[in-house]
């Protein structure tokens, strides 16, 4: 739900109905970027009030944040983590901007030459596909994504350590830390759903490493994922994401063709 829709009355009704958690997307910690670029129409004060209401009624709030938005800086991304701390969001989900076909922001990245629209292999937990960021900035964005959920739960005095760690090329080490901490926070949202015990933690770690290894093997030429190592559900997730990207590209092509005078090309074999 949007932060501007969680009122005292709504929260009271949700609590009476047995609601345990809600998802309220922040999208970005900078109010100007959130409203001018992402068109969210939510002020900082509105977000603070909504998350405070959720805590008042014992409702755990999930929160989504995007990093690597075109035109933003690393300091802007760090500010998002700091604002998450201020909101006391219970289980933040932090990802990197992916240019989804058909959106205004994607059209902007293409028009500005920041993004090659022929690229289809991307994931919100992979490095940014935009060329407006340097390799160092892309590394830092990924590190902010993995460590942000941890440092958003720590006092402000840890910010110096956070700024130091995100500069190090230790992304592969940060990923399992992120995954385990996220599952720990997520388990409180569905306490009877997640069997949080030692074997389960080991499985999370193993799956995390398989996923990370698979992500490193993704190639821009659309190579097959079927031969990648790791658990089957990891491969299936990557294959599903690739297929969704292919369908989006095909749909865009069909729409463009339908608007022209030429007949649609035949589909299938």
Kindly report the CA angle at 151 between 150 and 153, in degrees rounded to 5?
75
For residue 264, being part of any structural domain is answered with no
| Residue 10 or residue 220, greater confidence | 10
For residue 217, being part of any structural domain is answered with yes
pLDDT tens digits, one per residue of 129-145:
999 999 999 999 999 99
For residue 248, being part of any structural domain is answered with yes
Tokens of 160: 């110096």
What's residue 3's pLDDT? Answer: 86
For residue 172, being part of any structural domain is answered with yes
If pLDDT is split at 50, 70 and 90, which confidence band does 125 have? confident
| Residue 15 or residue 225, greater confidence | 15
10, pLDDT greater than 80: yes
Domain count across the chain: 1
For residue 263, being part of any structural domain is answered with no
Q: Specify the CATH number for the domain of residue 245.
A: 3.30.750.200
Kindly report the CA angle at 91 between 79 and 155, in degrees rounded to 5?
50
Threshold 0.85, pTM exceeds: no
Q: Which residues contact 208 (CB under 8 A, 6 or more apart)?
A: 175, 176, 179, 180
Rounded Cα gap, residues 117 and 128, in angstroms: 14
For residue 102, being part of any structural domain is answered with yes
Domain containing 217: what range? 3-256
Rounded Cα gap, residues 198 and 190, in angstroms: 18
pLDDT tens digits, one per residue of 154-189:
999 999 999 999 999 999 999 988 888 887 777 666
Q: Which residues contact 61 (CB under 8 A, 6 or more apart)?
A: 21, 22, 23, 24, 50, 51, 54, 55, 87, 89, 90, 91
């Amino acid at each position: 739900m949007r932060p501007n829709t969680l009122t005292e009355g709504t929260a009271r009704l949700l609590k009476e109905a047995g609601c345990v958690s809600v998802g309220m997307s922040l999208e970005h910690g900078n109010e100007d970027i959130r409203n001018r670029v992402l068109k969210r129409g939510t002020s900082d004060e509105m977000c603070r009030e909504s998350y405070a209401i959720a805590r008042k009624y014992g409702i755990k709030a999930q929160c989504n944040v995007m990093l690597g938005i075109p035109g933003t800086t690393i300091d802007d991304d760090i500010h998002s983590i700091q604002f998450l701390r201020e909101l006391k969001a219970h289980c933040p989900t932090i990802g990197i901007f992916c240019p989804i076909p058909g959106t205004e922001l994607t059209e902007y990245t293409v028009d500005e030459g920041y993004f090659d629209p022929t690229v289809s292999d991307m994931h919100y937990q992979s490095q940014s596909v935009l060329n407006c960021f340097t390799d160092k900035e892309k590394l830092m964005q990924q590190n902010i994504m993995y460590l942000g959920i941890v440092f958003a739960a720590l006092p402000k005095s840890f910010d110096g350590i956070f700024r130091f760690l995100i500069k190090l090329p230790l992304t592969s080490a940060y990923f399992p830390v992120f995954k385990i901490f996220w599952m720990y926070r997520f388990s409180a949202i569905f306490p009877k759903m997640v069997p949080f015990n030692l074997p389960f933690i080991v499985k999370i770690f193993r799956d995390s490493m398989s996923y990370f290894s698979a992500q490193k093997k993704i190639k821009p030429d659309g190579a097959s994922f079927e031969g990648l190592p790791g658990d089957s559900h990891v491969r299936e997730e990557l294959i599903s994401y690739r297929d969704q990207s292919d369908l989006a590209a095909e749909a865009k092509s069909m729409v463009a063709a339908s608007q022209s005078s030429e007949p649609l090309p035949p589909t299938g074999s």
